[in-house]
Amino acid sequence: MSQGTHSIAPGVRPHQTLALCALLLAGACTAAHADDFIVYSPHVNQGQSEIELRGFYTGDGRPGLDGRAASELSFSHAFTGWWKPEIYVLEYEKNPGESEGLVGYEFENTFQFTQPGQYWVDVGFLASLELPNTKGEQDKLEFGPLFERTFGRFDHRLNLIWEKEIGPGASRHYEFRYSYAGTYAVSAAFQPGIEFYGRPDDHAYQIGPIVHGEWHVPDTTSNVEYRVGLLQGINADAPRRTWVVQFEYEFL
């Protein structure tokens, strides 16, 4: 299939990257779920609060796939060492040829089942409730296990997520997606790696390089985290390029 043979982001220049990032963070463009491009960690750090902004933007020569985007803003707080609720207060989406719009809200929970490193693999669980504000859209439940394994500086994460409509008229269909992230911690601020996303229901599979890291804010108990990546579609139904951006402010 043709998309899988393209080199990653041919012709994309740094200033174009910055412009796309700025656009995403402004929430000015956006479509599909930003949740589709995150690989959750099962780890919960008690007492920590987070403000997070993330989104994606697709670039593709085909009209149906070019210019899809989404962004969302969320707040979370880890009340215990095993439970972190997160509220998405703004979720924007934009589909090709349409204007962007506020699509709803979401209440997400991360449950940490095992301590990091306690067993061969760390296990957690994600459960969230999506409340769309678009007419005709059903409320949705998302749930599934989260796995993480570290080998020295290497870190591997795997998510298996199911999505199910709920309420009157809800479809019986369970939509499934999975994602993997593998990174190497060169330092706390620079952790390059790859991410892979599979959405069998959309026949869309994507892989690409990412880098994430964090900086401590001097004289505080706060950190700033970032994550940027460029995913390449590896089959015909996936967008050729998807830019992924995430910023997070953590504090106690």
Partner 1 sequence: MNRNNLLGSLVLLGVLSGATAQAGDIPEYKLVVQNQRFLPSSLRVPANTRFKVLVTNRDSTPSEFESSDFNREKIVLPGSTVTVFIGPLGKGRYKFFDDFHPHTGNGVLIVENSRGGSGQEMPEAGE
Contact residues for partner 1, defined by CB under 8 A = 43, 45-48, 114-121, 123, 145, 147, 150, 152-155, 158, 160, 162, 173-176, 178, 185-188, 191, 200-201, 216, 220-221, 223, 252
The number of residues making up the chain comes to 252
- Tell me the Ramachandran region of residue 238: left when phi exceeds 0, alpha when psi lies from -120 to 50, beta otherwise: beta
Tokens 């439940």 sit at which residue? 141
Structure tokens at 162: 């199911």
Question: To the nearest whole angstrom, how small is the minimum distance from the Cβ of residue 16 to partner 1?
Answer: 31
Q: How far is the CB of 59 from partner 1 (least distance, A)?
A: 28
Q: Give the separation between CA 125 and CA 144, rounded to whole angstroms.
A: 6
**Going by C-beta distance under 8 Å and a sequence separation of 6 or more, which residues neighbour residue 17?**
243
Output the six-digit token pair for 208: 């690409």
Q: How far is the CB of 139 from partner 1 (least distance, A)?
A: 19
Minimum distance, C-beta of residue 200 to partner 1, in the bound complex (Å):
5
Closer to partner 1 by Cβ: residue 66 or 175: 175
**Closest approach of partner 1 to the CB of residue 88, in Å:** 24
Between 155 and 237, name the residue whose CB sits nearer to partner 1: 155
CB-wise, 159 or 206, nearer to partner 1?
Answer: 159
Q: Toward partner 1, which CB reaches closer, 15 or 151? A: 151
Which pair of structure tokens corresponds to residue 168? 């009157």
Element (H, E) at 23: helix 14-25
CB-nearer residue toward partner 1: 97 or 117: 117
Quote the CA–CA distance of 176 and 164 in Å, as a whole number: 9
